[in-house]
Each structure stands twice: as C-alpha cells, then as structure tokens.
C-alpha cells in the first residue's frame, strides 16, 4: 500500500484526489499496490464541509508529517511555504511529486540534490506542460538524441489572448477580460502576460535538454502587453500569426534563451496551436523535429501528469529520475540567425527614417502610408544577420531623436 499525503486541495489538488479515487482498484489489480490518501493540507477546513474527503482534511502541517506517508504531493504553488515543506519531506525520506514550476525553476537543483542524498525522488512532470508528458519523453524516449533547440508555447493564458485578438478582432484588454471570465487568467495576470511563467518553464526544459542549468532570470523576457491589432494585420500580410514563444538553442559556447512574441507561419506546427493549448517543438540531432501538444493547465490535464509521477514512484522507476546539472549555462540573449524582422517606428521624420532603413538593411520592404494607415509610423520588414544588428539600428534612431518609439518582432519562416 502506498500512503499519499497532499499539500493543497485547489484545482490541481482536487483533480489529483479524484484521479487517485478513480484508478485505485485498477492500480491494485495491475500492480498489486493500493493508493491511499491519508491526509490533505488545506488553509480552511470549513470551506470543504460538503466534500467527500472531508475526513482527510487538516489545517495543521504536523498532521502531514506525523502520518506514515510514502509520497507527498505538493499542489500549493508558489515558493513559500512549499519550499520548506518539500525540503522537510525529503529530509524525512519521503518521495515528492510537485506541479510547481516556480519552485523547480528557483530551487530545483538544490531539491534534486537533497532527494538524491536521502535516497528518495522528486518528480515534477506537471511543472512545465501541464498534461503534456514532455519531461519523461525527453528523459526516456529521446535519450539517444542530443537536443539542439526548443521552440514552445508554454502559457495557455497568453495563447488564448493572442488567439482571440487574431481571430475575433478583440483588443488586448478585451481578450484578457474574457480569459479572466473563463478562468484562464488570474485576477493579477502579470506572471502570464509579462512572460515570467513561460520563462520559468523554459528554464526547466532547457536545463534538462542541454544538461546545463539555465537560470530563468537570465533569459531575455518580453510579454504580450504591447501587442495590438496592427501587429496582427502586419502578421497576416506575411501569412503569419503571433505567438508568445519560449525559444532556446544550444551552441558550442552558450545557450540562447528567450521568451517573446514572435510571428510564425499560420500553417506551421506552432502556428496551428490555438486558445489555451500548449505545444513544445523539440529538435533532436537524430529524430529531427518532434512536437508535443495538449492542454497546459486545468484540473485534470495537470492532475494526469501528477498521477503519472505517483505511478512511476510506486512502480519504483527511480533509475529514470530527472536531474539538474551542476554546470551553470552561459546565456546568450541575442538571436544570432539570419532572419526577417518587423520594425514599427513612430516618428515625425518619416523621410529620414525611410532613408535610414534603406541604407542600413540590404533587404527590406517598407509599407506605404496607404497600407500602414498611419502617417506617424514607418512600418518595414527587414532582413538581418542577427538581432544585434537590429538593436544597433534601433539604438541609433533613438539616440538621434529620429524616433519616439520602436517595436520589433521576429518573423520565423519555419
């Protein structure tokens, strides 16, 4: 019998409890092991008076650690007190399953080392892609590959917002309000819309993919708050849609890592991912491009990944436990491939800006007034060998006071 204690009984926690209940007898028949929830930590027991698991609920953390528990499932979120609880659990030689990307991005290396020291494991499949089994796939199915790059849609909230802006003509504010009404966005959506959530997930993915620790705070991060209807209009001219992508790519010297809005072809694999769905496109040296897609959040998608981790622990699959390298990655924040970029330059000096674009970029396409519809903005698609050249040009026109503001968007042709 495997005794399970749970920290948290919100959306994810209640979903995990339901899956354990559904699969209890099936699990026993197939593996001769019974899954039993012994205790569930909640903030306020009185909020769950009519819940079928009412008798298992407690507000006292000591009730969790006093039980003869084999596995502790952390579904509280945030850094504290989750970090202290998990550290204590590992020191007591309890296996841990968590869906907490904040915790694993900030403290993952330390906790994995602590688990190893105590002869137990910490599993965190649900921390990156919700119900998408990406970590296990990378650790097991792609073990014969050297991962070369990752392109990903890791935040369902922002993908939902961008989808509604693109297909329904909504403003950013309207799409965000709808996302909040439908439960896809928090009351305070900052972590999602500013790209921090995706950056934490990308850091975990990249750390595992390249066997070097990628600190999420060193990633170049740009959210979607400045995306407007004109960006989508220009994207459609290129047969593109706009997605908030988490991109990483390894080279001999460093790892490029960024989260930013990107124009992707509408018929590309990532371009077809809509609404709250997530997707992760992994490039391996042997297998080529492989994409994993599904719902990245929600009660049962996330609970599905948590339950799979519980099953792995019970089945004693410790030899495949994921680890983080002790080697810290050198992070490159500049896109170094020859690519197309959208430039939107607000200026009172239209003629001068057009001349400077033409002289600075050998290959460029400048939209006419009749197409852009804004006499105080120059809109151009330019080709550059790397992002540094784009940034140097932007700095030049800003420092010369030719431009009030400049927006850039990377265009991916594939």
Nearest to 383 by CA among 325, 350, 339: 339
DSSP 368: P
- Is residue 214 annotated as involved in ligand binding? no
Q: Which residues are catalytic?
A: 201
Cis ω for the linkage preceding 81 (within 30 of 0) = yes
Neighbours of 215 (CB within 10 A): 15
- Is residue 10 annotated as involved in ligand binding? yes
How many H helices and E strands in the chain? 15, 17
Alpha-carbon Rg for the chain, nearest whole angstrom, is 24
Neighbours of 196 (CB within 10 A): 20
User: For residues 130 and 148, is the Cβ–Cβ distance under 8 A?
Assistant: no
> Under 8 Å CB-to-CB from 213, ≥6 apart: which residues?
109, 207, 324, 325, 326, 327, 328, 329
> Under 8 Å CB-to-CB from 272, ≥6 apart: which residues?
266
User: For residues 206 and 257, is the Cβ–Cβ distance under 8 A?
Assistant: yes
Residue 360, strand partner residues: none
DSSP reduced 3-state for 231: helix
Sign of CA dihedral 309, 315, 316, 319: negative
- Is residue 194 annotated as involved in ligand binding? no
* Rounded CA separation 282/22 (Å): 33
- Is residue 195 annotated as involved in ligand binding? no
- Is residue 327 annotated as involved in ligand binding? no
> Under 8 Å CB-to-CB from 141, ≥6 apart: which residues?
none
- Is residue 352 annotated as involved in ligand binding? no
- Is residue 14 annotated as involved in ligand binding? yes
Nearest to 148 by CA among 140, 138, 156: 138
DSSP reduced 3-state for 131: coil
- Is residue 358 annotated as involved in ligand binding? no
* Rounded CA separation 104/310 (Å): 17
> Residues forming the annotated binding site for NADP(+)?
7-14
**Sequence ranges of the binding site:** 7-14, 101, 186
Q: Binding site for NADPH: which residues? A: 101
Binding residues for L-homoserine: 186
């Amino acid at each position: 019998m495997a005794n399970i204690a749970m920290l948290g009984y919100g959306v994810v926690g209640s979903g995990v409890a339901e899956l354990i209940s559904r699969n209890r007898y099936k699990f026993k028949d197939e593996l001769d092991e019974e899954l039993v929830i012994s205790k569930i930590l909640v903030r306020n027991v009185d909020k769950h008076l009519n819940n079928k698991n009412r008798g298992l609920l407690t507000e006292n953390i000591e009730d969790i650690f006093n039980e003869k528990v084999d596995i502790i499932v952390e579904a509280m979120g945030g850094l504290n007190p989750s970090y202290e609880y998990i550290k204590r659990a590992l020191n007591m030689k309890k296996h841990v399953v968590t869906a907490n990307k904040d915790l694993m991005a900030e403290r993952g290396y330390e906790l994995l080392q602590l688990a190893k020291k105590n002869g137990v494991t910490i599993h965190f499949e649900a921390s990156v892609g919700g119900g998408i089994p990406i970590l296990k796939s990378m650790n097991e199915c792609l073990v014969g590959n050297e991962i070369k790059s990752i392109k990903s849609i890791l935040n369902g909230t922002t993908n939902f917002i961008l989808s509604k802006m693109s297909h329904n003509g909504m403003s950013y504010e309207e799409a965000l309000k709808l996302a909040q009404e439908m439960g896809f966005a928090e009351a305070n959506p900052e972590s999602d819309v500013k790209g921090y959530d995706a950056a934490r997930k990308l850091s975990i993915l990249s750390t595992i993919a390249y066997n070097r620790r990628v600190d999420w705070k060193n990633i170049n991060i740009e959210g979607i708050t400045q995306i407007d209807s004109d960006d989508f209009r220009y994207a459609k001219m290129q047969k593109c849609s706009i997605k908030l992508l988490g991109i990483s790519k390894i080279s001999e010297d460093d790892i490029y890592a960024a989260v930013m809005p990107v124009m992707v072809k509408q018929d590309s694999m990532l371009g077809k991912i809509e609404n709250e769905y997530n997707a992760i496109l992994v490039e391996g040296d042997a297998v080529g491009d492989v994409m994993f897609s599904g719902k990245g959040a929600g009660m049962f998608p996330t609970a599905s990944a948590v339950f799979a981790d519980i099953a792995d622990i019970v089945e004693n699959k410790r030899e495949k436990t994921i680890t983080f390298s002790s080697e810290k990655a050198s992070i490159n924040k500049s896109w170094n491939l020859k690519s197309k970029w959208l430039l939107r330059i607000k200026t009172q000096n239209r003629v001068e800006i057009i001349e400077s674009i033409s002289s600075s970029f050998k290959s460029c396409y400048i939209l006419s007034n009749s197409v852009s519809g804004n006499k105080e903005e120059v809109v151009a698609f330019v080709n550059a060998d790397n992002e540094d050249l784009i940034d140097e040009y932007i700095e030049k026109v800003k420092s010369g006071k030719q431009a009030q503001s400049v927006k850039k968007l990377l265009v991916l042709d594939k």
